[in-house]
Amino acid sequence: MIRVFEAFSGIGTQRMALRNLGIEHEVVAIAEIDKYALKSYEAIHGDCPNLGDISKIDPTDIPDHDLFTYSFPCQDISVAGKQAGLDMNSGTRSGLLWECQKVIAAKKPKYLLMENVKNLVGKKHKPNFDKWLEWLESQGYTNYWQVLNAKDFGVPQNRERVFCVSILGNHEPYVFPEKQELTIRLKDVLDDEVDEKYYLSKERVDELTWNV
C-alpha cells in the first residue's frame, strides 16, 4: 500500500492515475484551496483530509507518506500567461513550488512526482527548475525528468508536459515508458452535438487566444 500526500490536488487526477493503473494506495491528505476543485474532488473520490494552503501548512501536521505529488500552479510559467515566473519569495502562484521544500525536508517521502507545462524547461524558467533539482539532490534524491506528449501515450491531443520523478536513496534507475502508437482519433471521442450551454463566449475565446 502506497501512502500519498497530494499537494495542489485539484480534482485528484494523480490519484485517478494510481487507481487506473491498479496501484494499491491510500491518500492520507491533500492540500488544495480552490473550492470548486474541492467539490469535484469529493464527488469523485469521497471525503479526504485537506490541509489547505500549502504556504501555511505545518509539516509536522502532515501524515507520513511514501509518495508526494506536487504539480504546482502553472499560470505564471505557461506561455498562455504573463510569465511572472516562479522565483523563490516572488509571491507568484507558480512560486509556491518552493513551499514544497519544507514538506520534503520534514517528511522525506521515498518518491516525488511533479507534472507541469513544457515552458518550465524553457529558457526563462529552466534556471529555477535546475535550482530545484539541485536542492532535491542535496536532500538525497535522484531526479529523472522528461517532456512527454499525450499523443504518444494513447490520447488524441498534442499536449506536451514536463514530468519529474525523484527517488530517495538507493533504487533501481527509473525509466520513462515507451511511446505508444496512437489508435484513437479526436473524432472518436467528441460528441456530434453539444448543448450551447457549454459554448464559450466571444470574450472568453478572445482571452484564451490573445497571444496565439
| Rounded distance between C-alpha atoms, residue 93 and residue 75, angstroms | 7
What's the half-sphere exposure (Cβ side, CA atoms, 13 Å) at 47? 1
Q: What contacts 24+ positions apart, CB below 8 Å, involve 162-165?
A: 162/114, 162/115, 162/116, 162/117, 162/118, 162/120, 162/121, 162/129, 163/113, 163/114, 163/115, 164/112, 164/113, 164/114, 164/115, 164/133, 165/111, 165/112, 165/113
Residue 8 CA to residue 11 CA, distance in Å, equals 9
- Sheet containing 25-31: order of strands: 25-31, 2-7, 67-70, 111-117, 160-168, 141-149
CA distances from 102 to 144, 160, 163, 165 (A): 21, 29, 21, 18
Is residue 48 flagged as an active site residue?
no
Contact of 76 with 92, CB cutoff 8 Å? yes
Annotated catalytic residue within 48, 74, 100, 164: 74
Active-site residue numbers? 74
